[in-house]
Structure 1
Amino acid sequence: MSGCKSAQEISSQYNASDAEVVFISIDNLEYRVHSYMLKANSAVFRDLFGELSSKSAFQPIRLDATSADLSCFLNFMYQSHPTLPSSWTQAEVVSELCDRDNAISSRRELCLL
């Protein structure tokens, strides 16, 4: 049936059952993340999510990034020692995500690598 959606595959690393934010990569991998981690690292996310309570949730947000690039970007948000981008191309994409989402501390960390 064309109106039915298939089940979304969920990231094995970013799959918090209590997450309020869901990102979907261009290759349809779902990331369930906490708004407080995003807001702590990005003025854009602070404005977007405002005073979001843990009981409320947004509609899934589709991002123009592959699952590998989105994982790398989220690693900079979540980890104190994130995994390095696997290529210059990935570093550029992650840097663009940091710029777009005004994730200044993540961008600074990426530049130091």
Structure 2
Amino acid sequence: MGSQPESRSIKEDLTLNSSDNQEFKVHSYHCKAHSTVLRDMLESPGLNESAIPIDATGSHLRLFLNLMTRWEVLNPSDSGTWLRLLELCDKYDFHLVRRRLKQRLRSHSYKSPWDAFCIASHLDELDLAKKAIKRFGSLKGDRDIELGRMPIKMASQPTLPYLLGLLHGKNLVAHSDDPSWAAVSEIFYPAT
């Protein structure tokens, strides 16, 4: 029973199965209200499934369902989880959850601007990437972004056009009157 979303009410009438075979009892009206894909599926006269398979692990689905029904939920712990949840939003047409995730990502960029930049690169969200770059200047110590000394693992996180655009922007401002990350964010554009 430990694989249920945090909040349970009186009558969950739908079971969602994760890709790792965890079952989640939910209210169908939440799914219908948030997802046109699931609404169409659930209102189909030919549906005789007792459980709907969802292409997500139990941990991702639990977080996703909590984001759908609650506001006070922890943020995803890593960029892969952020991207996976946003992918689920697109696949099942969960516009409100997607919008909530993007709002949270903007806040997350204050704490983890590099993660936010990488996620923005995969979403091709130029404005979010620029905001994250501007916040690179607040990173200190081993969290500081030094492009010339960046480990390969770190350099492979954003998409190549965004990484190249970042390198190009940093090179352009390196010998200017304002070599700050704020200046890089002003001129940043992904390489084409």
User: Does TM, scored on the shorter chain, surpass 0.5?
Assistant: yes
Contact 2:16 2:25 in 1 (8 A): yes
Larger Rg: 2
Q: Distance in 1 between matches of 2:34 and 2:13?
A: 16
Contact 2:18 2:61 in 1 (8 A): yes
Identical-pair percentage: 33
TM-score (norm 1): 0.75
RMSD over aligned CA atoms reads 2.4
Judged with a 3 Å threshold, the aligned counterparts in structure 2 of structure 1 residues 58 and 28 are, in CA distance, closer, same or farther, namely: same
What's the offset of the Cα at 1:35? 0.6
Divergent runs of 4+, >3 A = 14-17
Q: Distance in 1 between matches of 2:53 and 2:39?
A: 18
1:70 to 53, 61, 64: 61
Equivalent pairs counted in the alignment come to: 101
Q: Comparing both structures, which one devotes a greater share of its residues to helix?
A: 2
Q: Distance in 2 between matches of 1:17 and 1:11?
A: 17
Q: Distance in 2 between matches of 1:81 and 1:13?
A: 13
Aligned to 2:3: 11
TM-score (norm 2): 0.47
What's the offset of the Cα at 1:13? 2.8
Q: Distance in 1 between matches of 2:94 and 2:21?
A: 23
Are 1:25 and 2:31 counterparts? no
5+ residue gaps in structure 1?
Answer: 1-8
5+ residue gaps in structure 2?
Answer: 105-192
2:73 to 63, 74, 82: 82
What's the offset of the Cα at 1:12? 3.5
Q: Comparing both structures, which one devotes a greater share of its residues to strand?
A: 1
Of structures 1 and 2, the one scoring higher in RCO (CA 8 A, sep 6+) is: 1
